Every structure is written in C-alpha cells, then in structure tokens.
Amino acid sequence: MNSDYRDKNSRKKQSLLSSFYFAFIGVFTALKAERNLKIHFVMAVLVIFFGIIFELTKTEWLLVSFAIAGMIALELMNTAIERVVDLVTTEQHPLAKQAKDIAAGAVLIFAVLTVIIGLSIFLPKIF
C-alpha cells in the first residue's frame, strides 16, 4: 500500500477527530459564556427529566429531541453571528444591529415552537 495514501487517510481521520474536538470546544465555550444557552440547557434537562417521569412515547421523544437539539443549535448559531459581528465592527452600524436582531428573531421563533411542542406533549399528561 502506498505510504502517501496512508498519510492522507490518517490526516483525514485526524482532521475528522479535530473537527469533532473543536465542535465540542465551541459548545462548551458558548455554554460557559452565554446566559441564554445556559437557560436552554437547564430547560432541556428539565424536559428530559419530565419526559422520563411521564414516560413519553417514541414519537414524543423524537419531537422533544428535535426541539431541544434545534433550540441549542440555533442558539449556538445566534452566538456565532453575534461574535462575528462584534469582531468585524466595534461601531454602531445599522446592518450589524440588523444581523444580531434577525438572528435573535430566529431563536425567538424556534423558542415559541418548542414551547408549543412541549405544551402539546406535556399538558395532556398533566390534566
């Protein structure tokens, strides 16, 4: 077997592992620094706890899982956009404000959807 092939293959594996490593670092960095992400994380833990208590069905777990993962992923994207905007400009620029507000709006819309999903799953189990 060609040693160039092995070198490229091992670099790809190292690159893939590095990608996962840096992604986890990004999540933990944001979790330490971002208040809203901490709130979403605590809410996710509570939802999982109550999901276990109320014995959610597979379909309900699927919906809850998508809601939790989507919310956290979207909050991470919002954080990334905010950081990039802050990196690019320190002045008050209307487009910088719009970029941050639009990203926050996306988070808000998904947060409303997750509340609707949560209420539709958990309220019938409570009442």
Segment 84-111 mean pLDDT: 95
Tokens 């994380």 sit on residue: 41
What is this structure's pTM? Answer: 0.84
Which pLDDT score, from 0 to 100, does residue 6 have?
Answer: 56
Render pLDDT for 29-60 as a digit per residue (tens, 0 to 9). Answer: 999 999 999 999 999 999 999 999 999 999 99
Which pLDDT score, from 0 to 100, does residue 15 have?
Answer: 86
Q: Which residues are catalytic?
A: 75
Best CA proximity match to 115, nearest among 61, 56, 40: 40
Flag whether pLDDT at 11 surpasses 70: no
Segment 69-91 mean pLDDT: 95
Proportion of the chain above pLDDT 90, given as a percent = 83
Alpha helices for the chain (secondary structure H): 3-33, 35-53, 58-88, 94-126
Which pLDDT score, from 0 to 100, does residue 90 have?
Answer: 86
Report the Cα 28 to chain-centroid distance in Å. Answer: 11
Which pLDDT score, from 0 to 100, does residue 14 have?
Answer: 72
Query: What's the mean per-residue pLDDT of the chain?
Result: 92
